[in-house]
């Protein structure tokens, strides 16, 4: 009997890295809660660099994908790989779109000028397209923000995640470490150029289908994802006691750092973000990957945070839309806004955990049995 790749033993997790993904996802929710009070001014955002969590996620994904699949290609086809990735990611993409559709008409207001005039049939069509992660052109926008996924904004990063997985499967996995290193270096140059030359002095963007936003999206994707892949391959690990606590603190500080350089030295903030993505985040992953202690309380916390990280990231934003519409429409002061923000945070985590246990895990288990559990002779 020759078993399919699906029947092979599952590899152990880097539990600490899963937990760090959860820490970053919690910060993303807080970042988005504060965002309406910045009124679009990047320098006034309170948790100023929370958006860098996306770049951290890309790095983690590259590391984990290479760890999970690099040594399996002799026993696995490209389609086997795609099935595995779709089963892992796609169910919550669908759920994020469904939740976005359910909450859509509660978000009406000046912040989202197109909602009131959007017919139900068009919203449902956008939801169905959202199930596939196929990006929408600005002409199909139903919100007014020109998002490629206007029912669930963060799905833009999953669109790029899928592109990275395709690039990995099609050919980049075949590169030698030296060739991959050159590719990663050139990607770092592209990223630094974006960060330093950006009119806002940052890497914010990537969620629209136009030339500028696609440039941002690919610049943010290519370095971290494939640097994560390279980091896994070369095996650099840093072994420190209390690795999870150290890494969590580094993630929190880097994502909550105030704006660097002010409005007159935008390049300084660009350099800070380049440093975080190119140097600090790989360092954090190297420390996290070097802490493999099992059976400890920190691993239980890491597992919980890791389990909810993806559902939290992909489902929280419809609540943020409602919150943003309310703050902008009613000119809500910071104090009552903070109280509502805490409730939003609790609701987001609750919805994410419910989606995980009642939907994501059962659906993935069924899909795995249905499409990955067969044996062939």
- pLDDT tens digits, 167-191: 999 999 999 999 999 999 999 999 9
Distance between CA 257 and CA 47 in Å, rounded?
A: 7
Range of the domain at 25: 2-370
- What pLDDT band is residue 295 in, cutting at 50, 70 and 90? low
Q: Per-residue pLDDT averaged across 279-287, rounded? A: 97
Q: Per-residue pLDDT averaged across 77-98, rounded? A: 97
Which pLDDT score is estimated for 241?
A: 87
Which pLDDT score is estimated for 12?
A: 75
Share of the chain above pLDDT 90, in %: 86
Which pLDDT score is estimated for 340?
A: 97
In a domain, 156, yes or no: yes
pTM: 0.94
Which pLDDT score is estimated for 300?
A: 87
In a domain, 254, yes or no: yes
Q: Per-residue pLDDT averaged across 98-117, rounded? A: 97
- What pLDDT band is residue 252 in, cutting at 50, 70 and 90? very high
In a domain, 239, yes or no: yes
Distance between CA 134 and CA 59 in Å, rounded?
A: 23
Query: What's the whole-number average pLDDT of the chain?
Result: 93
In a domain, 270, yes or no: yes
In a domain, 377, yes or no: no
Number of separate domains in the chain: 1
- pLDDT tens digits, 298-313: 788 999 999 999 999 9
Q: Per-residue pLDDT averaged across 220-247, rounded? A: 94
Q: Per-residue pLDDT averaged across 247-271, rounded? A: 94
Which pLDDT score is estimated for 292?
A: 67
Which pLDDT score is estimated for 60?
A: 98
- What pLDDT band is residue 1 in, cutting at 50, 70 and 90? very low
- What pLDDT band is residue 6 in, cutting at 50, 70 and 90? very low
Higher-confidence position of 97 and 239: 97
Share of the chain above pLDDT 70, in %: 95
- pLDDT tens digits, 35-66: 999 988 888 888 899 999 999 999 999 999 99
In a domain, 375, yes or no: no
In a domain, 235, yes or no: yes
Residue with tokens 């899909």: 367
Q: Per-residue pLDDT averaged across 257-264, rounded? A: 88
In a domain, 376, yes or no: no
Which pLDDT score is estimated for 7?
A: 53
């Amino acid at each position: 009997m020759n078993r399919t790749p699906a029947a092979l033993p599952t590899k152990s997790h880097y539990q600490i890295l899963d937990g760090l993904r959860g820490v970053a996802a919690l910060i993303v929710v807080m970042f988005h809660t504060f965002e309406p009070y910045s009124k679009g001014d990047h320098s006034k955002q309170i948790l100023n660099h929370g958006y860098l969590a996306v770049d951290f996620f890309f790095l983690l994904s590259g590391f984990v994908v290479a760890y999970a699949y690099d040594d399996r290609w002799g026993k696995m086809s490209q389609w086997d790989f795609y099935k595995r990735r779709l089963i892992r990611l796609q169910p919550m993409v669908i759920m994020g779109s469904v939740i976005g559709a359910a909450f859509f008409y509660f978000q009406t207001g000046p912040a989202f000028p197109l909602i009131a005039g959007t017919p139900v049939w068009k919203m449902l069509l956008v939801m169905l397209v959202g199930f596939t992660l196929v990006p929408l052109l600005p002409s199909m926008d139903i919100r007014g923000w020109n998002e490629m996924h206007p029912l669930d904004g963060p799905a833009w990063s999953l669109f790029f995640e899928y592109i990275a997985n395709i690039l990995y499967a099609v050919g980049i996995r075949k590169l030698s470490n030296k060739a991959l290193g050159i590719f990663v270096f050139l990607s770092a140059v592209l990223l630094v150029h974006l960060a330093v030359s950006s009119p806002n002095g940052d890497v914010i963007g990537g969620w629209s289908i136009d030339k500028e936003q696609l440039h941002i999206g690919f610049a943010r994707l290519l370095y971290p994802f494939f640097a994560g892949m390279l980091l896994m391959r070369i095996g650099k690990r840093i072994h420190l006691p209390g690795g999870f606590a150290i890494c969590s603190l580094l993630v929190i500080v880097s994502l909550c750092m105030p704006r660097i350089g002010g409005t007159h030295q935008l390049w300084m903030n660009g350099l800070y973000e380049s440093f975080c993505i190119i140097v600090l985040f790989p360092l954090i992953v190297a420390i996290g990957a070097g802490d493999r202690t099992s059976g400890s309380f920190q691993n239980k916390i890491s597992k919980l945070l890791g389990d909810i990280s993806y559902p939290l990231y992909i489902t929280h934003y419809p609540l943020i839309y409602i919150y943003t519409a309310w703050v902008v429409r009613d000119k809500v002061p910071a104090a009552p806004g903070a109280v509502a923000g805490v409730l939003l945070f609790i609701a987001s985590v609750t919805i994410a955990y419910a989606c995980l246990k009642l939907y994501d895990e059962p659906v993935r288990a069924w899909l795995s049995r249905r499409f990955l559990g067969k044996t062939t002779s």
